Amino acid sequence: MYCVLLGPPGSGKGTQSEFLVEALGLIHVATGDMFREHLRHQSELGRKAQSYIDEGNLVPDEITIAMLLERIDATQGGSTIFDGFPRTIDQARALDIALTDRGQKGDHVLLLEGSSEELVLRLGGRLTCPADGTIYHETKSPPEIPGHCDQCSNLLMQRSDDEPKAITNRIQVYNEQTAPVAEYYEQTGMLVRIDGSQPPNQVRGELLKVLKESRSNGDT
Ligand code: AMP
């Protein structure tokens, strides 16, 4: 099963995909996490991507698609959830071609929708553990010990692209470049819209329902 989780920054893609990975044993392919890993190691790809990420812009398609194709090969045909990819129409086309070339096809595109005001609130208070990637929110889901990860006690950080200026830009970039990707998938009949402003448990329930139905219909 190949599933794409689409949605504006702050709509809960990261949190929800982690849950689905655990609940359904999916392979998590998150291009944002992959880029952050490259930044941490200051790889050549990380250095190329840094300024785009810091300012809240998209990393150019040729870099992103090449990185993604390598990652798809590493999944060896296992059921996968794509989180944060595709973000442009060209990326969506590249994913279609990549899956077809490998004798596969996309099964679902799940779109988490949310209002701009709610997204800004969520992103502004978001705290991330740099060690294990766990996501918290200052008020909505605070860690037990303020400023420290519940899992590994590491000091939590605010992502550089969760600064107010970058947040505004990321939402604008989403509206201009990624919202058309939802329309692209709508035309294929694969798109399922989910209200991402509901409490996280409710969002989980809806996502699970769609994916479990797909499994019981015989998708791998
Ligand atoms: P995310 O963690 O998914 O919010 O991604 C963080 C940042 O990584 C984005 O704001 C982009 O700069 C970059 N990025 C992640 N995925 C993509 C993608 N599919 N295409 C281009 N840039 C991406």
What confidence tens digit (pLDDT) does each residue in 150-204 have? 999 999 999 888 888 889 999 999 999 999 999 999 999 999 999 998 988 999 9
Query: Considering only CA atoms, which residue is closest to atom 12 of ligand 1?
Result: 53
The values of phi and psi at residue 4, to 5°, are -110, 130
Classify burial at 70, counting beta carbons within 10 Å of its beta carbon; exposed 0-12, middle 13-18, buried 19 or more.
Answer: exposed
Distances (CA, A) of 166 to 65, 126, 160, 212: 23, 13, 8, 36
With tokens 């505004």, the residue in question is 168
What confidence tens digit (pLDDT) does each residue in 34-59 have? 999 999 899 999 999 999 999 899 99
- The closest-lying atom of ligand 1 relative to the alpha carbon of residue 166 is 10
Show the tokens assigned to 136.
């918290």
Give me ligand 1 centre to Cα 129, in Å.
18
215 given a catalytic annotation: no
Tell me what pLDDT residue 217 has: 66
With tokens 């019981």, the residue in question is 216
Distance CA 220, CA 217 (A): 9
Q: Sign of dihedral through CA atoms 77, 78, 79, 82?
A: negative
Pocket probe for ligand 1: among 6, 34, 35, the residue whose CB has the most ligand atoms within 8 Å is 35
Helix, strand or coil, per DSSP, at residue 195: strand
Q: Which amino acid is at 64?
A: T
Active-site residue, from 159, 165, 209, 215: 159
- DSSP bridge partners of 26: none
Pocket probe for ligand 1: among 13, 87, 89, 158, the residue whose CB has the most ligand atoms within 8 Å is 87
159 given a catalytic annotation: yes
Assess whether the C-beta atom of 91 lies below 6 angstroms from ligand 1. Answer: yes
Hey, which bits of the chain come out as E strands?
2-6, 27-30, 80-83, 108-113, 126-128, 135-137, 191-195
Active-site residue, from 48, 102, 126, 193: 126
Let me know: does 73 contact 157? Beta carbons within 8 Å.
no
Strands 191-195 and 80-83: unpaired
Helix, strand or coil, per DSSP, at residue 155: strand
What confidence tens digit (pLDDT) does each residue in 79-105 have? 999 999 999 999 999 999 999 999 998
Pocket probe for ligand 1: among 53, 134, 165, 168, the residue whose CB has the most ligand atoms within 8 Å is 53
Q: Which amino acid is at 30?
A: A
What confidence tens digit (pLDDT) does each residue in 119-134 have? 888 888 889 998 888 8
Assess whether the C-beta atom of 53 lies below 6 angstroms from ligand 1. Answer: yes
Give me ligand 1 centre to Cα 209, in Å.
27
